[in-house]
C-alpha cells in the first residue's frame, strides 16, 4: 500500500516528517542565501572559460592551417624554382659543351695549320740545304775534274757540255 495514506505518517511524532521539514528548510536557506546564483555564476564562468579556450583553439587551428597552406605554397614555389634552376644549369652545360667543342676544334685546326706550315718550312729548308749541298758537291767535283783535266791537258767534249748544263740545273 501507499505510505502517504498510512495512519500516523503525518504526525509530528514521526521522525521522517522532521527529516522532510529539515530538508525543505535547508533548501530554502540555500535559495535565500543565493547559492543557486553563485553556483550558476561559477558554472557560467567555467563555461565562459571553456568557450574562450575553444575559441582560442579554433583560432590557433585556423592560423596553423593558414600557415600550412602558406608552407605548402612556398614548398611548391621552391620546387618549381629548383626545377627551373636545374633546367637552366643543364642548358648552360650543353651550351658550354658546344662552345668548348668549337674552341677545341678551332685550336686543333690552328695547331694543325701551324704544324703544316712548320713542315712546309722544314721541307723548303731541307730542299734548300740539299740543293746547296748538291751544288757544293757538284762544284767540288767540277773542280776536281777541271783540275785533273788541266793537269792532263786533254779535252773531252762530253764533259764540257755536262759542266755547262750543271749551272742551269742547279738554279
pLDDT digits (tens, 9 = 90+) for 29-59: 988 988 889 999 999 999 999 999 999 999 9
Say how far apart CA 147 and CA 84 lie, in whole Å.
Answer: 92
Task: Give the mean pLDDT of 7-28.
Answer: 83
The DSSP symbol for 13 reads T
Region of poorest pLDDT, from 1-5, 30-34, 98-102, 164-168: 1-5
Q: How much is the pLDDT for 1? A: 47
Q: How much is the pLDDT for 117? A: 94
Its pTM stands at 0.41
Task: Give the mean pLDDT of 3-27.
Answer: 80
Closest CA relative to residue 138, chosen from 118, 166, 96 = 166
pLDDT tens figures, 128-168: 999 888 888 888 887 787 777 777 766 667 767 777 777 67
Amino acid at each position: 500500500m501507499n505510505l502517504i495514506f498510512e495512519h500516523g505518517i503525518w504526525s509530528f511524532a514521526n521522525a521522517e516528517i522532521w527529516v522532510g521539514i529539515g530538508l525543505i528548510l535547508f533548501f530554502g536557506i540555500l535559495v535565500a542565501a543565493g547559492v543557486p546564483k553563485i553556483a550558476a555564476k561559477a558554472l557560467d564562468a567555467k563555461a565562459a572559460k571553456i568557450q574562450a579556450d575553444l575559441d582560442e583553439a579554433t583560432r590557433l587551428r585556423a592560423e596553423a592551417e593558414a600557415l600550412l597552406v602558406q608552407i605548402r605554397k612556398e614548398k611548391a614555389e621552391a620546387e618549381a624554382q629548383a626545377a627551373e634552376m636545374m633546367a637552366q644549369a643543364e642548358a648552360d652545360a650543353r651550351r658550354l659543351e658546344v662552345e668548348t667543342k668549337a674552341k677545341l676544334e678551332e685550336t686543333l685546326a690552328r695547331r694543325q695549320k701551324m704544324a703544316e706550315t712548320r713542315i712546309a718550312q722544314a721541307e723548303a729548308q731541307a730542299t734548300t740545304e740539299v740543293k746547296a749541298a748538291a751544288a757544293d758537291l757538284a762544284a767540288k767535283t767540277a773542280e776536281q775534274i777541271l783540275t785533273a783535266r788541266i793537269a792532263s791537258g786533254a779535252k773531252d767534249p762530253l764533259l764540257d757540255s755536262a759542266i755547262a748544263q750543271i749551272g742551269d740545273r742547279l738554279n
